[in-house]
Amino acid sequence: MRLFAMKGSEDLGVAVAGAIGTALDPHEERDFEDGEHKARPLVGVRGEDVYVLHSLAASRGASANDRLLKLLFFLATCREHGAERVTVVAPYLAYARKDRQTKARDPVATRYTALLFEAVGTDRIVTLDVHNIAAFQNAFRCETVHLDTRQLFVPVIERLAEGGPVTILSPDGGGVKRAQLLKECLEAETDLHVGFGFLEKRRSRGIVSGDLFAGEVAGTVVFIVDDMISTGGTMLRAATACRERGAKAVHALATHGLFGESAETLFASDAIDRIVVTDSVARAARATAEHPSARLEIVSVGPLIGEALRRLRDGGSISDLLGTES
């Protein structure tokens, strides 16, 4: 087994490697003055089972497109030099949100991204809490492995709830299934009384609307659950609605803390008591450093991804790892 982590994903790569009980394999990445680049493994990959980790969220100095192209070229290079099997580990998968046509002549970028990975010889792709799991699985023709963070968030919820009644809330209709699965996992593993709710949300040409609020949150500790936080507008909208309806406390949970510049409003707001994300993208750790007063907590996904890769390498069960039916 060879495990590489591309530039910008090294910290998570080290955590994943540590969970497996190994070290990252060395590689070289060079950027040239004209904007081109090259990357190559510094160890032999012929006949090897190669895993390449790279989270495809934009960061300072590297757009999602930059990260995606560098990853694709590195995968192709490993194939070029005889890798027997190549697995992409993309905790955050770029373009997963654009999985259908919502306007005339819209692209379906999720499918185009899948075609690119397959074109360079990718055998398997592992990702974490993708925006729409059905669209993700249908877009790819290679093997797909979808990991989720339900079990990572359960102890966080149990601690923050302090034994009180809990409501799991989806901030929009598209995340209802995600929130329901977390509710079921929480009920199975704790003694908490868990309610459920969701908020209507429609977005068209940048305008957000929708007034329906389903669920009873008065006197409960509310956990708003989403796959990602970018600007934070969706979370703030839902948190404000919960506060208006008598929620005792409101916490935001999301796997991917993308935290664009507009997220400063989220960090400054009193509507949310705690924001909990994972280290699936490096931006979360930078946000903690840049906003020391923000009520931000980071949960590591390194052990989860590491155990998943160990099971893939050794023929173990991913279903058992995630607690899903086999």
Q: Tell me which residues are annotated as active site.
A: 201
3-state DSSP assignment of residue 32: coil
42-64 burial, b for 16+ CB within 10 Å, e for fewer? eeebeebbbbbbbbbbbbeebee
63: phi then psi, degrees, rounded to nearest 5: -75, 170
Crossing angle (nearest 10°) for helices 10-20 and 302-314? 50
Rounded CA gap, 320 and 311, in Å?
10
CA distance 49 to 216: 50
DSSP H or E stretch at residue 3: strand 2-5
Q: What is the strand order of the sheet 124-128 is part of?
A: 2-5, 49-53, 85-90, 124-128, 143-147
- Residue-level length of the chain: 326
Contact present, 38 and 76 (Cβ < 8 Å): no
Q: Take residue 124 and report the two structure tokens written for it.
A: 């398997």
